């Protein structure tokens, strides 16, 4: 029921309740927002550049290490670790002894000579050269007149080993005209020899090479007075494979 006001017959209009006014904050200026965004972007950019520098530095170090290692291995392979060919040399041939007996009607005097062949092996490598048992064949006019054997062995790094091998030469095979006059006054004989030595060089167990050394020699033996024999000249050709 409406309350009567000062003016009877008229009702007083209802007033709406006042709404609470919202809290108003001062709006941030556009310049401050732009500065904050720029700062964030700069920080992220610095982080990205820092990570990129680290990645590039690591990649550069790895690449430099690989290049240096490769160059070092190449230099060692071409110099220190390079397997060089050993040198096989026939130094001289000397007489050890001569045995003479009466022979047949075809060979009145049977002569057997024991010769000593001085052979050397030079190893120019930084690792030792191990070789197997070797054989030296001597020929005269295409016929084998003697065979000498040398035991297996080893030549140290940058060393030279000399081997003295002995062989019995059937001198009556060298010349069917060997007689007492030849033994007293002397005569020259041209012989050829063939030597083959097989071995291997291993550098630190990494670089290995099997070697086959073949040597052909032309030897002139000078048979002097009173049964003296020595090599007058020696010419050799060596092939290494």
pLDDT at 34 over 50: yes
DSSP, collapsed to helix, strand or coil, labels residue 201 as strand
- Is residue 87 within 8 Å of residue 124, measured between CB atoms? yes
Express each pLDDT in 123-153 by its tens digit. Answer: 998 889 999 999 889 888 888 888 888 889 9
- Name which of 95, 89, 96, 146 is nearest 119 in CA terms: 89
Q: What percent of the chain has pLDDT over 70?
A: 68
Judge whether residue 79 has pLDDT over 80. Answer: no
Token pair, residue 18, equals: 């006042």
User: Which position has the token pair 């065979």?
Assistant: 147
Extract the tokens encoding 33.
């927002």
CATH number for region 87-240:
2.60.40
CA distance 117 to 123: 20
Indicate whether 1 pLDDT > 50.
no
In this predicted structure, what is the pLDDT of residue 100? 58
Residue 20: per-residue pLDDT:
54
Phi, psi of 55 (to 5 degrees): -65, -45
**Interval 101-117: pLDDT, tens:** 555 555 555 556 777 88
Q: What pLDDT was estimated at residue 93?
A: 82
Q: How far apart are CA 231 and CA 115, in angstroms?
A: 10
Which of 11-25, 34-48, 193-207 is the least confident region? Answer: 11-25
Break the chain into its structural domains and give their ranges. Answer: 34-79, 87-240
- The span from the CA of 153 to the CA of 141, in Å, is 32
- Return the H-helix or E-strand segment holding 77: helix 30-78
């Amino acid at each position: 029921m409406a309350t009567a006001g000062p003016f009877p017959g008229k009702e007083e209009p209802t007033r709406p309740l006042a709404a609470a006014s919202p809290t108003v904050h001062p709006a941030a200026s556009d310049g401050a927002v732009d500065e904050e965004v720029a700062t964030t972007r700069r920080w992220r950019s610095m982080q990205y550049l820092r990570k990129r520098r680290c990645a590039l530095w690591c990649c550069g170090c790895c690449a430099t290490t690989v290049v240096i290692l490769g160059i070092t291995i190449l230099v060692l392979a071409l110099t220190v670790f390079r397997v060089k060919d050993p040198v096989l040399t026939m130094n001289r041939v000397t007489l050890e002894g001569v045995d003479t007996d009466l022979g047949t009607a075809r060979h009145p005097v049977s002569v057997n000579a024991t010769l000593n062949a001085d052979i050397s092996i030079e190893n120019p490598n930084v690792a030792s050269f191990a070789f197997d048992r070797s054989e030296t064949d001597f020929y005269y006019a295409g016929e084998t007149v003697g065979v000498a054997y040398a035991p297996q062995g080893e030549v140290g790094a940058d060393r030279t080993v000399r081997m003295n091998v002995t062989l019995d030469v059937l001198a009556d095979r060298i010349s069917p005209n060997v007689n007492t006059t030849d033994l007293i006054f002397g005569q020259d004989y041209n012989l050829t020899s063939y030597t083959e030595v097989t071995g291997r060089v291993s550098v630190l167990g990494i670089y290995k090479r099997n070697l086959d050394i073949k040597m052909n020699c032309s030897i002139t033996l000078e048979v002097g007075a009173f049964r003296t024999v020595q090599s007058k000249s020696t010419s050799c050709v060596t092939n290494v494979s």
